[in-house]
Amino acid sequence: QQPVQSPQAVILREGEDAVINCSSSKALYSVHWYRQKHGEAPVFLMILLKGGEQKGHEKISASFNEKKQQSSLYLTASQLSYSGTYFCGTVPTTDSWGKLQFGAGTQVVVTP
């Protein structure tokens, strides 16, 4: 079952912050975050592992709450380059290591 992302879309002005949430009905081993620009392939941002630390990429960071089976992606002081669709991917603890399943995505638009 696909993880659920919220919100579906968010519009920001440059410099504003945003949070994207990802939740799963299954116990998770890892959560993966990717960003896709229009017409391009998804690009890796970061991975969060069970029992691991909060990770960061530029001014984008994320957390992983294992007990709640949730992850959040934090866009801090957003830049125009942050525009795109963000996908979370999850690997359940009981599943094989090959099945990385993605959510439906959150579209982020950063305006000047």
Interface residues toward other proteins, by CB under 8 A? 2, 5, 29-30, 32, 34, 40-44, 47, 49, 87, 89, 91, 96-105
Nearer to other proteins, 16 or 95 (CB): 95
Least distance from C-beta 16 to other proteins, angstroms? 25
3-state secondary structure of 27: coil
Q: What's the CA gap between 52 and 37, in Å, rounded?
A: 28
Least distance from C-beta 13 to other proteins, angstroms? 26
Nearer to other proteins, 36 or 83 (CB): 36
Least distance from C-beta 14 to other proteins, angstroms? 27
Q: Is the peptide bond before 7 cis (omega within 30 degrees of 0)?
A: yes
Which residue, 61, 47, 55, 51, is CA-closest to 27?
51
Nearer to other proteins, 16 or 61 (CB): 61
Cα dihedral across residues 30, 10, 106, 3: positive or negative: positive
